[in-house]
Amino acid sequence: MKFAKDNSPGHKKFQKLPPRLLLKGGAIVDPGLALHETADILIENGKIEAVGRIDAAGFDGEAADIAGKIVSPGWIDMHVHLREPGREDEETIESGSLAAANGGFTAVCCMPNTTPAIDSQEIIQYIKDRARDSLVNVFPIAAITKNREGKELAEILDLVEQGAVAISDDGNPLMSAEIMRRALEYSKMANIPVIGHEEESTMTANGHMNEGFVSTCLGIEGIPSVAEDIMIARDIMLAEYCGGRFHVAHIATRKGVELVRQAKARGIAVTAEATPHHFSLTDEAVRGYDTNAKMKPPLRSEDDVQAIIEGLQDGAIDAIATDHAPHSWEEKAQEFIYAPFGIVGLETALGLSLARLLHSKKMDLNSLIKKFTVNPCKILGLKAPVIQKGETANLTIFDLQAEWKFLEANSLSKSSNSPFLGWSFQGKPFAVINNNRFFISIL
Amino acid sequence: MEKEEIQLILDTARSFREILDRPIKRVPTLQGKTVVNLFYEPSTRTRISFELAEKRMSADIINFTPSTSSVKKGESLIDTVKNIEAMKIDMVVVRHSSPGAAHLLARVMDANILNAGDGGHEHPTQALLDMMTIREKFGRLDGLAIGLIGDISHSRVAMSNIFGLKAMGARVILCGPPTLIPREIERLGVEVSHHIDEVIPRADVLNILRLQLERQKSGLFPSLREYHNYFGITRERLEQASKPVLIMHPGPMNRGLEISSQVADSEHSVILEQVTNGIALRMAVLYLLAGGKSEIR
């Protein structure tokens, strides 16, 4: 098997790695090892055999020149909706994994708002079975409550034993403070984070976009930022009161970021993630009634965008996650107030992060890579991949300069509900390697 | 909409207004053109007004309401209008509960689209007929102070009036309880007040919006009684002003709630003239659209 792009028409697949592969001349950036140097990597049967200067003369395996490209430990997206089981027309574990690999990820965490919900050992096992033999590691996040109804705790210990790495009722806020308290307390036994979708739903029931000047102009009922802040504040106080680990999903407001920053300073076990769209777009994107600019939390103000970037810079926000939320064309091609919330994100995360954080000099490359690797792994209690002899070759290889356009034809997600279609980017995913497989991005 | 566009529409409407006083109220302007009135939301006066305007212009008319359509079978809006368009029609007048519905149609259709109200967003022909009526009385819009009274948050009439009046150089004062005023609306260059007695003496016109009774149920104000006591326009309130104020209402009125009967039927009320002007105004817009004018939102 050649380490080359699969140009055959039709269905894309992960390819087997050649038994011996020498990656020549990549710039290795491994924040876990504080490693930042140009070096060759020898991979044998999917494992890293050597890192350093390796002479290709006389090498009988396959050598690939990746000079000028960045090699980092494989990226993880800790917030993805794979829609399987239930909405396989929108995404499957397979198509979502291909989209992840295409976007530069070797692992994803899938949220439990499937049908049925991920609230039983059987569903976790089903997902693991479906993801077997994949390049992309799929880590299920289980529901906090049975059927995500917010009423009774799911069998959290069982779910974790079966492979859940966190719990969340994502998609729905957990409105009962009592249930949230008990979830935080009970989950301490499993040492997993409770991931909160932070939305005070009595304030957001009729809302379809951020409340502010733009919603006023468009005549669309608003989702106030304070409805998010209130819940973040509540859950931080609960975590302070009863312990447990609280993780804020898709943080989108300045106040929310400040609350997390203050809580961390007080030593409370709280972490947070932000999505690329929340640091790339404001509610101005909704003008024209583009349903691909409709998601939860909604796109907020320029001030909120700046606060998210500041939070990523100073560590108030630990991770970048996409909240990849595929929806069918039919559902998004409706009137604005009837269209569902959410956009796909796996294939634009790298391009947007480079544009908004690296190229604009808000963050250095090492800090940026942390947000996709060691930080989310730490939150989830996963061993972060490292580029070291003896380890599984779990690598994300990308380019900082190549210019490309995000086109539906090059996307491997089954859905294309993205506001970034047609956007141009500088720097793109090149290839991922994991589980003795590789995939060269077709973006 | 730009000032020049509004002016053109108002001038055209004035010339059509005269037709309505003729014994035979019909001109052949839109003969051979087909207009579809696509009303996804119940409406009496706007639909009748459009229908009459179309009839006065000799257009062929199709009325289409969701209850009698395939909407109940789950057909999407886009499919519905594409089917209608495939029947070779010329114009669609659309009323819909979703803000942006007319924009959506304009994106997917080649036919001319006329927005007859999209959710809480805009109701352009209502604002235009309001401006036509004001201009008729004062001879101008520039420099006048127009009070928009009531539920601004959910009012497409208010939004279209704000955009139009600002473009024409009028001063706009919004008045209602804070719970019915949308956030950051001041950025549109309007003044906001919560005290009606403070607004009346400064206004040349009061455009009194209909209060949807269900707003009370959703907790936006305590009772109809209290609303009437603090924001209802009554003769006593108006008598405090030194000069008469022109009274307008887009209808349908809740008499005794946002407006008292004495005020609604007073000599300063132009509420029924608004209705008449509405037909002339809609004739003008249909005429301009049919004449190949670009999209008028």
Span B122-176, pLDDT tens digits: 999 999 999 999 999 999 999 999 999 999 999 999 999 999 999 999 999 999 9
Question: Which pLDDT does position B72 carry in this prediction?
Answer: 57
Q: Which two tokens stand for residue A40?
A: 């060759």
Closest alpha carbon to A311 in A239, A255, A387: A255
pLDDT at A228 over 80: yes
- State the pLDDT at residue B97: 92
- Asked whether B235 and B262 are in contact (CB, 8 A), the reply is yes
Q: What pLDDT does A147 receive? A: 97
Average pLDDT, chain A: 97
Is residue A235 among the annotated active site residues? no
Confidence band for B71, pLDDT divided at 50, 70 and 90: low
pLDDT at position A58 is: 81
Q: Which residues of A touch B103 (CB under 8 A)?
A: 288-289
**Could you report the per-residue pLDDT of A56-81, keeping only the tens digit for each?**
888 889 999 999 999 999 999 999 99
- Tell me the C-alpha distance between A373 and A371, whole Å: 6
Question: Which pLDDT does position A9 carry in this prediction?
Answer: 80
State residue B292's pLDDT score. Answer: 45
Q: What is the mean pLDDT of residues B85-110?
A: 94
At the topology level of CATH, where does A75-380 sit?
A: TIM Barrel (3.20.20)
DSSP annotation of A348? T
What element of type H or E holds A431?
strand A429-434
Q: Inspect the interface and report whether the beta carbons of A219 and B103 lie closer than 8 Å.
A: no
In this model, does residue B294 exceed pLDDT 60? no
User: How many percent of chain B have pLDDT more than 90?
Assistant: 85
Q: Give B 113-142 residues with CB within 8 A of chain A.
A: 118-122
Mean pLDDT of chain B: 93
Interacting residues of A54 by C-beta distance below 8 A, sequence separation 6+: A22, A24, A40, A42
Q: What is the mean pLDDT of residues A391-416?
A: 97
pLDDT category at B73 given cuts 50, 70, 90 is low
Please report which confidence band the pLDDT of residue A6 belongs to, taking 50, 70 and 90 as the band edges: confident
Q: Which of B17, B33, B123, B228 is catalytic?
A: B123
Report helix, strand or coil for A222.
Answer: strand
- In the prediction, which pLDDT does B67 show? 61
pLDDT band at A321 (very low <50, low <70, confident <90, very high): very high
A333 touches chain B (CB under 8 A): yes
Residues of B in contact with A283 (CB under 8 A): none
Q: Which residues of B touch A219 (CB under 8 A)?
A: 99, 118-122, 156, 159
Res. B235: pLDDT tops 50: yes
Dihedral angle of Cα B61, B67, B72, B74, to the nearest 10 degrees? 30
Q: Please state, for a pLDDT cut of 70, what percent of chain A lies above it.
A: 100
Q: A237-241, A334-338, A344-348: lowest mean pLDDT where?
A: A334-338
Q: In which band, very low, low, confident or very high, does the pLDDT at B297 lie, cut at 50, 70 and 90? A: very low
pLDDT tens digits, residue range A275-303?
A: 999 999 999 999 999 999 999 999 999 99
For residue A348, the model assigns a pLDDT of: 98
CATH 2.30.40.10, chain A: domain bounds: 9-72+387-440
Q: A180-207 pLDDT, tens per residue?
A: 999 999 999 999 999 999 999 999 999 9
- Give the pLDDT confidence score for residue B240 in this predicted structure: 85
Domain with CATH 3.20.20.140 in chain A: 75-380
Burial status of residue B229 (CB atoms within 10 A of its CB: 0-12, 13-18, 19 or more): exposed
pLDDT, position B241 = 86
* Residue A442 banded pLDDT, cuts 50, 70, 90: very high
The structure tokens listed for A64 are 């690939």
Q: Which CATH superfamily is domain A9-72+387-440 in?
A: Urease, subunit C, domain 1 (2.30.40.10)
Counted across chains A and B, CB pairs separated by less than 8 A come out at: 61
Give the angle B281-B272-B20 at the CA atoms, nearest 5°. Answer: 45
Question: Is-contact A164 A191, C-beta < 8 A?
Answer: no
pLDDT (0 to 100) of residue B293: 45
Give the angle A294-A296-A302 at the CA atoms, nearest 5°: 75
Q: CB A330 to CB B188 under 8 A?
A: no
Task: For A271-310, give the DSSP string.
Answer: EEEE-TGGGT--GGGGTTT-GGG--SSPP--HHHHHHHHH
Tell if the CB–CB gap between B118 and A220 is shorter than 8 Å: no
Average of per-residue pLDDT across B106-119: 94
Backbone angles phi, psi at A353, to 5 degrees: -65, -40
**Helices B156-167 and B3-17 meet at what angle, rounded to 10?**
110
User: How many CB atoms neighbour CB A205 within 10 A?
Assistant: 11
* Model confidence band, residue B64 (pLDDT cutoffs 50, 70, 90): confident
In this prediction, does ipTM exceed 0.85? yes
d(C-alpha A436, C-alpha B2), whole Å: 63
Residue B295 scores a pLDDT above 50: no
**Does residue B111 register a pLDDT over 80?**
yes
The per-residue pLDDT for A59 is: 87
A290: contact with B, CB 8 A cutoff:
no
In order of A209, A279, A285, the CA distances from A282 in angstroms are: 11, 8, 6
Q: How many CB atoms lie within 10 A of CB A44?
A: 16
In chain A the first and final C-alpha atoms are separated, in Å, by 21
